[in-house]
Amino acid sequence: MAGVICLILAPIIGVNTFESLWAVDPFTYLGSALILAGLGISLSSYVGGEFRRHSTQGLNGNHQGNSWSETTLQYFQLFDHDLGRPLRRIAGKERELRAVMQAAPGEADAGVIDLLDEIERQTPNFRLMMSNIQVLIQLESPDHDETLQPVEPTEVIRRIADLYTAVAAEAGKEITWWSEPAEMGLVYANSNAIEHIVTNLVDNAVRYAGTHVEVKLSNNPSHFFVRVWDDGPGIGPQYVQHLFDRGWTPEVVRREEKSSSGLGLFIARSLARQLGGDLTVETDDNADGDHHTAFLLSLPSNLASQTNGTR
Amino acid sequence: MARVKTGQKILIVDDESESAILRAVRRRLEEEGWEPVVVQPESGHSLGEEFEAAALWSIEEDLPNAVLLDVRFGEHRDDQFRGLGILGEIVERWPKLPILMFTQYSQGQDRETAVRGSLKWDSPVDFIDKLASPDEVVLRLRRLIGTSPESIPIGTHILVDVNSRLVYVGTGEDRAAALEIQGMKFEIFRELATSWYRSPGELVAFSRLERFSEGEDPRASLRVRIREIKDAIGKAMNTQFGSSELILNVRDQGYRLVPPKP
């Protein structure tokens, strides 16, 4: 603005002050310089703003940064609460009905028990989906918490295996899990993230397994590993590259209705990589041979950095 | 189901202790041989403050081995997280007392609030969804309490008695010790039973079992002993266990116990 005023006033003030030299009036120079400086400042603040916005955006690159994530999370929490509450009531009534029937064995109709089983099978699916979306939003939030805590991986795996043992048994499948070494001890990690990743992997394995799911925990001096194996039909090599894509499910290929959101593996690998690890897959779809799928999660133990007091 | 008194007392602090879900949990605890003790405030109201006072008093009075505590008491806003306040009080006064918290969600805000609040990471506190099955509640309590029981019932017909170092087979008056399972064979079976007791799907790796075998080929020796254990229990039950029954070899990684079907 100051530059424009200088330029307007230059012919009037300049002629009086500098007479014949009005064309090279210093006011003209001053005005032009101020205009250029003003334009420069405007441009740099615009570019800086864009840069900051891009540097804080989420995983898939199409979000608007902090305010977007916070707002989305708030909406989701409302949605989760309003949808979760009636769902819990339904699930609670199902449990109550089952408990009443157990108290009076022999009087229950087999068809009613089948219906209760179906309600119970669907509830974890719904909750895992809700949990996946919540984690996804948190992941994409630029200020999400990455605090490392002492965690016993054996205990996390045991808890998930116990939870899914009953689910698998209802479908006529078995889960076996073990740790080598038997007492792995502590690592420094984000326990919620580990639980979330492995829950997704085990949930998938139970869904696609023929009869067996195996979960093995192992370690080396710097990392710990969780291998989730199932004896399902395996995945064709042409699809493996899409397995971790956001929203991809086997039904996409067959043009059928999706049985899940297809977010589980995408989130699992994103979380693993954010924690400094990785999630890979090894699969064989040979119908005549040893068909199987095995996911390998590797995460740093962070033992050295914690001992040295560094992160 | 054989009832084995383990003498563990479990305090239940929940304003819905008479609901069908909690009654099922209590029945399952009793099957386990544990004694559920329900906290009942004198006034009979479900006000969180009264439960807090009654729970603390009851811990002093009953000296439970573990506490089952609800996060939420009633519908009043002040009581929404009352259980976390009670949890903080218990942890401060009895830091070694195992507590299993019933939450609306076993992950998420409730848990985060509790863990990042007054608790240390090694506090014997765990969280479980209130809609978890009674079996799962018992599994979590077993691990929280952390002690191996003196006897482990496996299904309805097998009982591992750790004190006498014998395996009993049968029910009621017909129950008798399988005398062939002693020494190393008992140790192998106890190892398998203890893992199964902690977590039904847990496999015992060869490396943990081979210390109970001998000879130039410890794995072959282990295989023979496992076969002898299965034969001994099968004989006492008038049956013969196949390769996928009672004790399974899982893909050459180790063995896992599976209770015989009733």
Q: What is the pLDDT of residues A47-86, one digit of tens each?
A: 555 545 544 444 444 444 456 666 776 776 666 667 767 7
Residue B18 scores a pLDDT above 70:
yes
- Find the range with the poorest average confidence among A23-32, A130-139, B80-89: A23-32
* Same topology between domain B9-145 and domain B151-257: no
- Hey, what are A88's tokens? 């819990």
C-beta atoms surrounding B127 within 10 Å: 20
- Hey, what are A222's tokens? 């710097």
A51 at B interface, C-beta within 8 A: no
Cβ pair B21:A97 closer than 8 A = no
- On average, the pLDDT of chain B sits at 82
pLDDT in tens, A117-154: 777 766 666 667 777 777 777 666 666 666 777 888 99
Cβ pair A214:B251 closer than 8 A = yes
pLDDT at residue A311 in the model: 42
Q: What angle do CA A74, B84, B45 make, to 5 degrees?
A: 110
Cβ pair A149:B20 closer than 8 A = no
State the smallest CA–CA distance between residue B93 and chain A in angstroms.
24
pLDDT at residue B233 in the model: 95
**Is omega for the bond preceding A181 within 30 degrees of 0, making it cis?**
yes
Give the domain ranges of chain B: 9-145, 151-257
Cβ pair B21:A96 closer than 8 A = yes
Element (H, E) at A207: helix A191-208
User: What is the Cα–Cα distance from A264 to A270, expressed in whole angstroms?
Assistant: 10
Centroid of chain to Cα A184: 26
pLDDT at residue A59 in the model: 47
User: What is the Cα–Cα distance from A276 to A299, expressed in whole angstroms?
Assistant: 6
A193 and A271 Cβ atoms separated by less than 8 Å = yes
Which residue out of B23, B115, B131 would a mutagenesis test of the A interface target, given it has the greatest number of A Cβ atoms within 10 Å? B131
Q: Quick check: helix, strand or coil at residue A263?
A: coil
User: What is the Cα–Cα distance from B97 to B12, expressed in whole angstroms?
Assistant: 13
A154 at B interface, C-beta within 8 A: no
Q: Is B251 left (phi over 0), alpha (psi -120 to 50) or beta?
A: left
> What is B155-211 written as a DSSP string?
TTTEEEETTTTEEEESSGGG-EE-TTS-THHHHHHHHHHHHHHH-TTB-EEHHHHGG
Residues from chain A that touch B191, judged by Cβ atoms under 8 A, are none
- Hey, what are A21's tokens? 């030299």
- Hey, what are B243's tokens? 């390769």
Strand residues in B111-156 grouped as ranges (E): 125-129, 151-154
CATH of B9-145, one of 3.40.720.10, 3.40.50.720, 3.40.50.2300, 3.70.10.10: 3.40.50.2300
User: What is the Cα–Cα distance from B122 to B140, expressed in whole angstroms?
Assistant: 16
Residues from chain B that touch A162, judged by Cβ atoms under 8 A, are 136, 139-140, 199-201
Nearest to A221 by CA among A181, A182, A274: A181
pLDDT at residue A44 in the model: 62
* φ, ψ dihedrals at A262, nearest 5°: 75, 20
Cβ pair A158:B198 closer than 8 A = yes
User: What is the Cα–Cα distance from B197 to B189, expressed in whole angstroms?
Assistant: 12
Cβ pair A178:B121 closer than 8 A = no
Cβ-count burial A43-60 (b if 16+ within 10 Å, e if not)? eeeeeeeeeeeeebbbee
Nearest to A227 by CA among A282, A286, A163, A267: A282
The set of residues, in sequence order, having a beta carbon less than 8 Å from that of B76 and lying 6+ positions away, is B47, B48
User: What is the Cα–Cα distance from A102 to A94, expressed in whole angstroms?
Assistant: 12
User: What is the Cα–Cα distance from B97 to B94, expressed in whole angstroms?
Assistant: 6
Cβ pair A214:B20 closer than 8 A = no
B136 at A interface, C-beta within 8 A: yes
Residue A289: Cβ-neighbour burial (10 angstroms; 0-12, 13-18, 19+): exposed
pLDDT at residue B5 in the model: 46
pLDDT at residue A50 in the model: 53
CATH 1.10.10.10 fits B151-257, yes or no: yes
pLDDT at residue B2 in the model: 39
B198 at A interface, C-beta within 8 A: yes
**Least CB-CB distance to B136: which of A149, A163, A214?**
A163
- On average, the pLDDT of chain A sits at 77
Cβ pair A177:B205 closer than 8 A = no
The set of residues, in sequence order, having a beta carbon less than 8 Å from that of A175 and lying 6+ positions away, is A161, A164, A165, A168, A202, A206, A213, A214, A215, B201
Nearest to A178 by CA among B246, B155, B206, B144: B206
Q: What angle do CA B115, B119, B120 make, to 5 degrees?
A: 100
Among A220-224, A287-291, B74-78, which range has the highest average pLDDT?
A: A220-224
State the smallest CA–CA distance between residue A176 and chain B in angstroms.
5
pLDDT at residue B196 in the model: 92
A200 and A268 Cβ atoms separated by less than 8 Å = yes
Q: Is B226 left (phi over 0), alpha (psi -120 to 50) or beta?
A: alpha
**Least CB-CB distance to B199: which of A98, A150, A161?**
A161
Cβ pair B136:A162 closer than 8 A = yes
pLDDT at residue B155 in the model: 85
For residue A140, give the amino acid letter: E
Cβ pair A175:B201 closer than 8 A = yes
